[in-house]
């Protein structure tokens, strides 16, 4: 039985336009909406798979304000059994702070006799792209860590972890307890069904207070890049434009 903790982050959905908050200190998600980082959607799916294979359970955790319960409920709707929110203003937390706060929860649970065999996180968050929270957490907990996990098979107290590389797939075999950071591409996150949504709506979310004050990320300011001035040259419409397109291919030297 392997109990899994999966850590997710509430991020602005930036598929459309990116707008900064009035003070320029953060990205404003009020207009675009909020979502879970892409890699973490896959992490939730992998967590459900490990728990399903081993008869364990999935706890989903986020560090954020009350609104981030929305992301916890999304995970509850697709297989997480319970949820924890570390009550904090996420923007005040740098990657080392987040890792420290998660480590505290894991240690607290362990002290209470409830250990997590596997802790899953996203490889990097869609907004800050820090690539380090999972690795810092592994150092704090003194556990092995694999970054970029795309598929995980759990049997007994070992994990087989598959990581895609340019040349193929690298396979790790490691003992639990372990930390894995998940990369999109290996599993398809499932969609919630009605009963999942109902269950998620009613589920209790445990709220814990972080112990240490955050040091921050060292952010001095943000700026949105102005959209580049369009200097597009229209080559025409439909198949009639083919000769001009091919002329360009010759001009830039990709066709001789």
Partner 1 sequence: MSVLVVVEPDESGNGLSVVSQETLTFARQLPGEGVDAVFVGSVGDPDEAALAQCREHGVGTVHVTDDARLERYAARAWAQVVETAAETGGAAYLVAGGTPRGNEVLAHVAAARGVPMPCNVVAVVQDEPLEVERQVVGGAVLERVALGGGGGLAVASVAGHAVAPEPAGEPGEARVERVEAQIGDSDLAAQVVRVEEREGGDTSALTGADVVVGAGRGVGGADQFADVEQLASRLGGAVGVSRVVTSLGWRPHHEQVGQTGSRISPDLYLACGISGAIQHWAGCSSSRTIIAVNTDAEAPMVTKARYAVIGDMHEIIPAVLEELG
Ligand X SMILES: Cc1cc2nc3c(=O)[nH]c(=O)nc-3n(C[C@H](O)[C@H](O)[C@H](O)COP(=O)(O)OP(=O)(O)OC[C@H]3O[C@@H](n4cnc5c(N)ncnc54)[C@H](O)[C@@H]3O)c2cc1C
Applying CB under 8 A, which of residues 55, 112, 113, 228 lies at the interface with partner 1? 228
Q: Please provide the DSSP assignment of 96-152 as one string.
A: HHHHHHHHHHHHHHHHTT---SEEEEESS-TTT--S-HHHHHHHHHT--EEEEE-EE
Applying CB under 8 A, which of residues 44, 60, 147, 176 lies at the interface with partner 1? 147
245 binds partner 1 (CB under 8 A): yes
20 binds ligand X (CB under 6 A): no
Nearer to ligand X by C-beta: 37 or 123? 37
113 binds, among ligand X, partner 1, none (CB under 5 to 8 A by kind): none
Residue 137 dihedral angles phi and psi, to the nearest 5°: -60, -45
Rounded-to-integer distance, Cα 75 and Cα 58, Å:
10
Rounded-to-integer distance, Cα 39 and Cα 181, Å:
9
213 binds, among partner 1, ligand X, none (CB under 5 to 8 A by kind): none
Q: According to CB under 6 A, which residues from 182 to 241 bind ligand X?
A: none
Q: According to CB under 8 A, which residues from 101 to 140 bind partner 1?
A: 124, 126-132, 135-136, 138-140
First to last CA, the chain: 62
82 binds, among ligand X, partner 1, none (CB under 5 to 8 A by kind): none
39 binds partner 1 (CB under 8 A): yes
Nearer to partner 1 by C-beta: 32 or 208? 32
Q: According to CB under 6 A, which residues from 115 to 154 bind ligand X?
A: 126
- Cα atoms found within 13 Å of the Cα of residue 223, Cβ hemisphere only: 4
Q: Which two tokens stand for residue 29?
A: 């998600």
Residue 115 dihedral angles phi and psi, to the nearest 5°: -100, 150
Q: Which residue has the tokens 């798979």?
A: 49
Q: How far is the CB of 176 from partner 1 (least distance, A)?
A: 11
Applying CB under 8 A, which of residues 174, 203, 205, 208 lies at the interface with partner 1? 174
Rounded-to-integer distance, Cα 150 and Cα 64, Å:
26
185 binds partner 1 (CB under 8 A): yes
Interaction pattern, residues 37-56, with ligand X; x per rule: CB under 6 A: xx------------------
In 3D, which of 43, 44, 176, 57 has the Cα closest to residue 118? Answer: 176
Give me the residues that bind ligand X (CB under 6 A), please: 15, 37-38, 126
């Amino acid at each position: 039985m392997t109990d899994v903790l999966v850590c997710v982050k509430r991020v602005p959905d930036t598929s459309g336009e990116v707008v900064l908050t009035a003070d320029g200190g953060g990205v404003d998600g009020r207009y675009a909406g909020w979502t879970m980082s892409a890699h973490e959607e896959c992490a939730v799916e992998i967590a459900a798979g490990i728990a399903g294979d081993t008869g364990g359970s999935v706890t989903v955790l986020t560090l954020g304000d009350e609104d981030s319960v929305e992301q916890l409920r999304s995970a509850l709707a697709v297989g997480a059994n319970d949820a924890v929110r570390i009550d904090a203003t996420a923007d005040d937390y740098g990657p080392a702070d987040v890792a420290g706060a998660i480590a505290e929860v894991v240690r607290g649970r362990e002290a209470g006799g409830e250990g997590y065999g596997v802790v899953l996180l996203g490889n990097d968050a869609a907004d800050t792209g820090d690539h380090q929270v999972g690795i810092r957490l592994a150092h704090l907990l003194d556990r092995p860590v694999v970054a970029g996990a795309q598929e995980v098979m759990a049997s007994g107290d070992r994990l087989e972890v598959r990581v895609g590389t340019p040349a193929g797939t690298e396979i790790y075999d490691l003992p639990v307890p372990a930390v894995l950071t998940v990369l999109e591409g290996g599993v398809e996150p499932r969609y919630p069904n009605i009963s999942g949504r109902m269950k998620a709506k009613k589920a209790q979310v445990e709220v814990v207070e972080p112990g240490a004050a955050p040091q921050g990320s060292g952010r001095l300011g943000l700026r949105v890049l102005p959209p580049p001035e369009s200097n597009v040259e229209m080559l025409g419409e439909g198949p009639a434009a083919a000769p001009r397109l091919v002329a360009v291919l010759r001009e830039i030297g990709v066709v001789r």
